[in-house]
């Protein structure tokens, strides 16, 4: 297992995701930087704006499914949203479930951005952005729920799960949406901080049990995430075409660039999700009452 990334590396990765998310899905308040769920693909040749709308809807669908797995979320529930990057998840929990959300972010510039988004969305009183400095700023037994969407890979999981347990109130829950390997060979070598730290489902659940968190729900949504990456690849074509000069050589270069980027970032993931080498899971774990 490679050493876990430094706070600087995590921040750089999140800065890159934030820039990509704003470029693709901004301007807007609920901007997400994570996978989504797609049940039906559009016909080939869908225009770029439609693809963006479908990708945004898919990301919201992931949060809706996670909320369904969590069960009833009472008004005023104290939630810690980890790694939302642009605060889209925090706004979702505040707007759709009337939760009181601490939005933990790793990029200093995003603190004011999340605060502004919350103000524009009318939930400034229910969303409080907090910069993660590498130290645990959370009070003991404060939160009713801790939510981590694609944010567990860069963390030393056993230690993190123990800390989650101490920060949850008795009976509180941890909700996770993330990708895990079933076969380690499904993850190709990479310097990407998310990919190279994917862990196994069995090891994560064992560490959670050791930390005093009991599994309550485990939904495998792998098949529903594959279409998200198909749509992302289609959108890549539109993005490269928008930057290409209007001649045949530039068109060919743009399409080749799309193929290379898709092969690097998407195809291994789709293949693993389809053949069972990877699992994208929604997990709900609960601290004993």
Rounded distance between C-alpha atoms, residue 278 and residue 268, angstroms: 10
Tokens representing 210? 């050791």
- Please state, in angstroms and as integers, the Cα–Cα distance from residue 232 to each residue in 34, 54, 55, 80, following that order: 12, 10, 8, 29
Q: Tell me which H or E stretch contains 152.
A: none
The predicted structure's pLDDT at residue 31: 86
Domain-by-domain residue ranges, the chain? 7-287
Secondary-structure percent of the chain, ordered helix, strand, coil, rounded to 5: 50, 20, 30
Cis previous bond, 23, omega within 30: no
Structure tokens at 11: 């921040």
Q: Which fold has domain 7-287?
A: Rossmann fold (3.40.50)
Per-residue confidence in pLDDT tens, the chain, 289 aa: 555 666 666 666 667 776 676 677 776 778 898 999 999 999 988 998 999 999 999 999 999 999 999 999 988 899 999 977 788 999 999 999 999 999 998 888 889 989 999 999 999 999 999 988 655 555 678 899 999 999 887 678 899 999 999 999 999 999 999 999 999 888 877 766 667 778 899 999 999 999 999 999 999 999 999 999 999 888 887 777 776 666 655 666 666 666 666 666 678 889 999 999 999 999 999 999 8
The H-or-E segment that residue 250 falls in is: helix 248-262
Taking alpha carbons only, the member of 80, 62, 85 closest to residue 281 is 62
The Cα 107–Cα 129 span in angstroms is 11
């Amino acid at each position: 297992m490679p050493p876990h990334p430094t706070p600087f590396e995590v921040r750089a990765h999140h800065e890159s995701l934030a820039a990509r998310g704003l470029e693709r899905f901004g301007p807007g308040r609920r901007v997400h930087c994570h996978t989504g769920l797609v049940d039906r693909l559009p016909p080939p040749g869908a225009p770029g704006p439609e693809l963006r709308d479908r990708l945004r809807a898919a990301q919201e669908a992931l949060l809706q499914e996670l909320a369904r797995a969590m069960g009833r979320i009472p008004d005023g529930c104290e939630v810690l949203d980890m790694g939302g990057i642009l605060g889209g998840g925090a706004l979702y929990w505040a707007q759709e479930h009337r939760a009181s959300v601490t939005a933990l972010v790793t990029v200093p510039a995003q603190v004011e951005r999340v605060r502004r988004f919350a103000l524009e969305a009318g939930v400034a009183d229910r969303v409080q952005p907090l910069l993660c400095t590498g130290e645990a700023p959370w009070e003991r037994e404060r939160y009713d729920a801790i939510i981590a969407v694609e944010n567990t890979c860069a963390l030393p999981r056993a230690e993190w799960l123990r800390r989650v347990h101490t920060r949850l109130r008795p009976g509180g829950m941890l909700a996770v949406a993330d990708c895990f390997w079933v076969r380690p060979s499904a993850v190709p070598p990479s310097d990407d901080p998310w990919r190279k730290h994917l862990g196994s489902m069995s090891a994560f659940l064992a560490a959670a049990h050791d930390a005093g968190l009991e599994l309550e729900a485990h939904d495998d949504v792998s098949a529903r995430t594959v279409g998200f990456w198909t749509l992302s690849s289609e959108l890549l074509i539109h993005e490269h075409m928008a930057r290409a000069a209007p001649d045949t050589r530039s068109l060919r270069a743009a399409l080749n660039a799309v193929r290379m980027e898709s092969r690097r970032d998407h195809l291994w993931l789709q293949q693993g999700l389809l053949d069972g080498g990877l699992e994208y899971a929604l997990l709900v774990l609960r601290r004993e009452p």
